[in-house]
Homo-oligomer: A and B are copies of this chain.
Amino acid sequence: MALPRIPLTIGLFGCGTVGGGVFDLLHNPVRRQALERLGVNARVAKICVQDVHKDRQLAHWSPTETSFTSNSRDILDDGSINCVVELMGGVDAAKDVVFEAIRAGKHVVTANKALVASFLPEIEQLLRAHPDVRFSYEAAVAGGIPIIHTLQRAYSSDTITEVAGILNGTTNYMLSKMEAHGVAYDDVLQEAQALGFAEANPSADVDGFDVQSKIAILTKLAFGGVVAPAAIPTTGISRLAAVDFKYAKMMDSTIKLLGVAKLVGPAADSAERTGTPPAVAVFVSPVVVHRSNVIASISGATNLVNVRSQNLESAAYVGPGAGRFPTANSVLNDIVQLARGDAPSEPFMPSKPLTLESDYEAQFYVRVTITDGLGIIRHVGQTAEESGVSVYSILQAPIVDRARVQFVVTTEMSPLSKVRAMCQKIAALPFVQEEPLFLPIM
């Protein structure tokens, strides 16, 4: 019962931070020996980069073993190359490379979350037409955490009910700073940009689009259904202020930007689902998380994925979300799995019908900004009542500036739709200065 091992001759696209790390891990003679003992025979034959003359500072490069090219055809048309490792980033050019590689019968390993999330159904379809091709993407979600392989392997006899993750290191770093030092959002963003953690255009991170792609991928793995990233309701962190961490602290909680996908409705309670497809609510939002939850303890650029399921109740996987060697390590895990003949033939798990439910129930944190006056609590309470939302508590820190007072209402378990409608009504009240910020509470 020896496994059908596959000697891999690799064409690498991209040789930046992660690509260089992959090359050096794979060609380091000591590690190579260790991999050979595991039955892994893999080498990079060609590297496709834009500028072949740039010094890539590869510690273990040898010109007799690996050549550089700027022409992707040199790899895609090379019959001796049976595996493409795509680490070039971006979507359009990467898509051409990956799709052509599959059509040419080459295995693909990629770290490209946007590509995988945006073209998941097309990739699945292409793989069905090329059943001998393996497609691996461990590094696409949560950098160094082996979450893809774990979801592919550890839950086959289980029913996942919720996946919630800190999936973006940049924003988690920023939120951790805001909490620890009471820093304002703009200041912490500037600092993160100065340190190189945040991009000059930080939108992908702070507006939650990066997390959107990742939770779309995790949703497919956990529940079997395809969700278009753009269809996921997404709230970023840019409206969070130091005061929110103050109120969270009063609730013995903190605030984390999470990607969440959870079963809702009757399916959430039954182990054996038959008949109607389960409904899943998927969203990206800052969430108020109680201190006793392990999610609250993850600070800095670290990522976490928390999986709730019927057999395990709750399990969490924690590790670095990005960086040269963490991400390269995940790419290497894919290469090793492939070379050992272990890569799954259905990398996104078998497809299942799934209903995307835009509404879900939670307790909510609602921060209201007002000009101080009389009868305000009564007005807000009345609006909640009219909206069918029960108020659980009202938090009010000592007032410093009567012209701009911020207080917090927390709700009982309520549907998101009702809370959103309530917030729109509150925004229309005369003394209210801006649309209330509402966050689910976990």
Q: Separation in Å of the A261 CB from the closest CB of chain B?
A: 19
The answer on a CB contact under 8 Å between B314 and A319 is: yes
Q: Separation in Å of the A315 CB from the closest CB of chain B?
A: 4
The answer on a CB contact under 8 Å between A157 and B329 is: yes
The answer on a CB contact under 8 Å between A28 and B311 is: no
**Inter-chain contacts of A358 with B (CB < 8 A):** none
**Inter-chain contacts of A132 with B (CB < 8 A):** 1
Q: Is the C-beta of A385 less than 8 angstroms from some C-beta in chain B?
A: no
CB contacts under 8 Å to B, within A134-169, are: 134, 144-146, 149-150, 153-154, 156-158
**Inter-chain contacts of A271 with B (CB < 8 A):** 28, 30
Q: Considering only CB atoms, which chain B residue lies closest to A328 in the complex?
A: B311
In the bound complex, how far is the Cα of B2 from the Cα of A132, in angstroms?
Answer: 8
Q: If the complex has contacts A1-B341, A4-B4, are A146 and B154 also in contact, measured as CB distance less than 8 A?
A: yes
**Inter-chain contacts of A252 with B (CB < 8 A):** none
Q: Which of A30, A316, A345 has the most CB of B within 10 A?
A: A316
Q: If the complex has contacts A310-B325, A328-B311, are A153 and B146 also in contact, measured as CB distance less than 8 A?
A: yes
Q: Separation in Å of the A335 CB from the closest CB of chain B?
A: 8
Q: Considering only CB atoms, which chain B residue lies closest to A133 in the complex?
A: B1
Q: If the complex has contacts A157-B25, A157-B35, A350-B38, are A311 and B297 also in contact, measured as CB distance less than 8 A?
A: no
Contact code string A1-21 (vs B, CB < 8 Å = 1, else 0): 111101000000000000000
Q: Separation in Å of the A217 CB from the closest CB of chain B?
A: 18
CB contacts under 8 Å to B, within A318-333, are: 318-320, 325-326, 328-329, 332-333
Q: Is the C-beta of A342 less than 8 angstroms from some C-beta in chain B?
A: yes
Q: Is the C-beta of A77 less than 8 angstroms from some C-beta in chain B?
A: no
Q: Is the C-beta of A294 less than 8 angstroms from some C-beta in chain B?
A: yes
In the bound complex, how far is the Cα of B94 from the Cα of A352, in angstroms?
Answer: 41
Q: Considering only CB atoms, which chain B residue lies closest to A6 in the complex?
A: B1
Q: Is the C-beta of A298 less than 8 angstroms from some C-beta in chain B?
A: yes
The answer on a CB contact under 8 Å between A311 and B329 is: yes
Q: Is the C-beta of A91 less than 8 angstroms from some C-beta in chain B?
A: no
In the bound complex, how far is the Cα of B342 from the Cα of A320, in angstroms?
Answer: 27
The answer on a CB contact under 8 Å between B311 and A273 is: no
Contact code string A268-286 (vs B, CB < 8 Å = 1, else 0): 0001111000000000000
Q: Separation in Å of the A198 CB from the closest CB of chain B?
A: 21
**Inter-chain contacts of A378 with B (CB < 8 A):** none
The answer on a CB contact under 8 Å between B149 and A154 is: yes
The answer on a CB contact under 8 Å between A312 and B294 is: no
17 more A-B contacts (CB under 8 A) besides A1-B6, A310-B325?
A1-B132, A3-B3, A3-B342, A30-B271, A31-B157, A34-B350, A37-B350, A38-B350, A154-B333, A156-B332, A157-B329, A157-B332, A294-B294, A311-B328, A315-B319, A316-B319, A317-B317
7 closest Cβ pairs, A-B complex: A315-B319, A297-B297, A157-B332, A311-B329, A316-B318, A30-B272, A311-B325
